[in-house]
Amino acid sequence: MSVYVTDFSITPWTVVHDDAPGGAHEGTVDPTTILHTTNMDGTPNDLFIVVECPVCGATSTHPVGGGAQPPLVQEMFIRVAMRDGCCGGTLTKAAPVQAAHDHVKEHTEAMDGEGRWQVTPEQLAGI
């Protein structure tokens, strides 16, 4: 099942669960509820984010490379990195957009290879 953010333009964010049993549905989530997964030692894993469906509680784990929706997922990673920082302080909380972009792009290319990055300049300007 795929649960993903489709609209970052307003808070709360719009989330779609596109293959839910009984049919697709959508709802909204507070962006602060979208978090990185947790490693076995309790530290955040900055390469994955979990999105929970506000309607049925199903979750999807998204890789930094973007999975099936690269532009949307990569933008979500930029926004979460700006809010929370990343990698134990390598990128600090409230990081500027360009610093978060560069950091997340680096993770994406390390995971999925060069050429996977799909956040457009127009998309970045809207963050």
Helices and strands in the chain: count of H runs, count of E runs: 3, 6
pTM: 0.94
Domain boundaries, the chain: 3-125
CA atoms within 13 A on the CB side of 67: 19
pLDDT in tens, 77-114: 999 999 999 887 889 998 999 999 999 999 999 999 99
